[in-house]
């Protein structure tokens, strides 16, 4: 429903994302299956907005979500965590496979150029991946993936790091 959807990108909004995470964490705990999440954050997004305007920034977010959705499995979901930060929920997926999935997204983003005023721009993101631990809740899971994403930014951006 629209209440769970981000109006701009069509990804889940924060509410929809929270519901999905709670459901998938409970399911993984119940069945003992692997669950990984990726936190991705567009690199230099403020600069993009300042240089090309907010409409272009909005279009960049739409572009990112469209590409992510084209590569995700039907069971995977993407939700907007806030601003230019998104969470990708990957059921039945271990951390190393989650990292490969995010790196595949990065390669696809470099292939599909984003056009701003007839200028081809490269949109990149930094990502962090975390796999659910026994007894862990979704807040802790997201926090670990988020921390790995920040390390990816500090390490030079446009890369995906594994949570510790």
* Residue of 5, 19, 24, 84 marked active site: 84
Does the active-site annotation cover 84?
A: yes
Stated pTM of the model: 0.96
Q: Give the three-state DSSP class for 98.
A: helix
Kindly tell me the burial class for residue 47, based on how many C-beta atoms sit within 10 Å of its own C-beta (0-12, 13-18, 19 or more): exposed
Cα–Cα distance for residue pair 153/134, rounded to 1 Å: 28
User: Rounded to 5 degrees, what are φ and ψ at 44?
Assistant: 55, 40
pLDDT single digits (tens) 41-91:
999 999 999 999 999 999 999 999 999 999 999 999 999 999 999 999 999
């Amino acid at each position: 429903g629209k209440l769970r959807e981000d109006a701009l990108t069509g990804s889940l909004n924060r509410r929809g994302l929270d519901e999905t995470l709670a459901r998938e964490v409970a399911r993984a705990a119940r069945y003992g299956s692997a669950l990984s999440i990726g936190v991705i954050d567009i690199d230099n997004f403020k600069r993009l907005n300042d240089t090309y305007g907010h409409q272009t920034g909005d279009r960049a977010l739409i572009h990112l979500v469209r590409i992510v959705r084209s590569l995700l499995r039907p069971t995977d979901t993407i939700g907007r965590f806030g601003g230019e930060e998104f969470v990708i929920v990957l059921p039945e997926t271990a951390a190393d496979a989650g990292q490969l999935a995010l790196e595949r997204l990065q390669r696809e983003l470099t292939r599909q150029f984003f056009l701003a005023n007839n200028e081809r721009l490269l949109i990149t993101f930094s990502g962090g991946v975390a796999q659910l631990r026994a007894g862990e809740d979704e807040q802790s899971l997201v926090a670990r993936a988020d921390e790995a994403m920040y390390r990816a930014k500090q390490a030079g951006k446009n890369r995906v790091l594994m949570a510790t």
